């Protein structure tokens, strides 16, 4: 989850200023958290407190109204609506990482991913994106190999994961759909060598950079058993005390404790 939040922060400065390379400053001076982080942390709180996620999202929107929410979500949140709006956008996938840590079986993760997506993203593609992301993270944190993850996600969700980043990068463009974001984010993870490399892979594609890196980062944190300590430190510096408190409350409730890696 810190992996997803970090991906969002790192990608924030490249969302509308795409780059097609891996050589860039990881935390630019203008980096910031976006709606991806806010709604991921809102889901942590909803799960931790066992309360209605829709109500929690409304509250977080009122506390953080200036983040880069999508137009449909902003209208939904501002109106205090409690009905979903049939979205297939990648918002369901970028906020779903806590699901993969709070539940104990893949079957339960899939059910809960659908549940938390459907507060807003009840379109089949919106649900599929959340489920594929949650399943990837759950499998990764439980020691499943990359090839086994690739095989399961490809067969279960009909995503084409046989492409390479070099295949995708030249023509990839800004795409806010789950179907145009989640497969690419998973491929960025599959081609990575460590957590940082995964984030660099995702951002190098261009497109919706913060959300791509958010999804990729959530999977990479789980697979690589944590994140380098300096990256965790730099990421946390971008959160306010309330957001940070919720993150750590979730980690501690589920006996996770943020896993840190010391660079060699």
Query: pLDDT digit string (tens) for 24-42?
Result: 999 989 999 999 999 999 9
Residue 181 structure tokens: 């974001």
User: Residue 96's closest CA among 156, 42, 147?
Assistant: 42
Burial readout 18-42 (b: 16 or more C-beta within 10 A, e: otherwise) = beeeeeeebbeeebebbbbbbbbbb
**pLDDT for residue 261 is more than 60:** no
Convert the pLDDT of each residue in 44-84 to its tens digit.
999 999 999 999 999 999 999 999 999 999 999 999 889 99
Using a 10 angstrom Cβ sphere, with 0-12 exposed, 13-18 middle and 19 or more buried, the burial of residue 162 is exposed
CB count in 10 Å sphere of residue 164: 10
**CATH code for the domain of 65:** 1.10.4080.10
Residue appearing with tokens 């890196």? 213
Residue appearing with tokens 């994140």? 227
Residue 206 structure tokens: 């261009």
First and final CA of the chain: distance in angstroms? 23
Total domains in the chain come to 1
Convert the pLDDT of each residue in 116-161 to its tens digit.
999 999 999 999 999 999 999 999 999 999 999 999 999 999 999 9
**254 is in which domain, residue-wise?**
2-261
């Amino acid at each position: 989850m810190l992996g997803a939040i970090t991906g969002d922060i790192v990608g924030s400065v490249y969302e509308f200023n795409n780059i097609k390379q891996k050589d860039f400053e990881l935390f630019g001076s203008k980096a910031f958290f976006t709606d991806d982080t806010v709604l991921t942390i809102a889901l942590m709180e909803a799960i931790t407190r066992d309360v209605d996620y829709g109500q929690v999202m409304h509250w977080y929107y009122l506390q953080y109204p200036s983040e880069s929410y999508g137009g449909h979500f902003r209208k939904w949140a501002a109106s205090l609506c409690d009905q979903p709006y049939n979205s297939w956008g990648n918002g369901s996938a970028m906020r779903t990482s806590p699901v993969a840590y709070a539940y104990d079986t893949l079957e339960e993760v899939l059910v809960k991913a659908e549940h938390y997506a459907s507060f807003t993203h009840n379109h089949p593609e919106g649900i599929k994106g959340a489920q594929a992301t949650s399943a990837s993270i759950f499998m990764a944190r439980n020691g499943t190999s990359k090839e086994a993850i690739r095989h399961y996600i490809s067969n279960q969700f009909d995503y084409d994961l046989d492409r390479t980043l070099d295949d995708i990068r030249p023509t990839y463009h800004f795409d806010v759909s789950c179907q145009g974001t989640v497969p690419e984010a998973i491929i960025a993870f599959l081609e990575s060598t460590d957590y940082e490399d995964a984030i660099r892979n995702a951002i190098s594609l261009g497109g919706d950079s913060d959300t791509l890196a958010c999804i990729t980062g959530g999977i990479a944190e789980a697979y690589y058993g944590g994140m380098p300590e300096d990256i965790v430190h730099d990421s946390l510096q971008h959160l306010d005390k309330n957001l940070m408190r919720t993150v750590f409350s979730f980690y501690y409730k589920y006996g996770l404790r943020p896993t840190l890696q010391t660079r060699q």
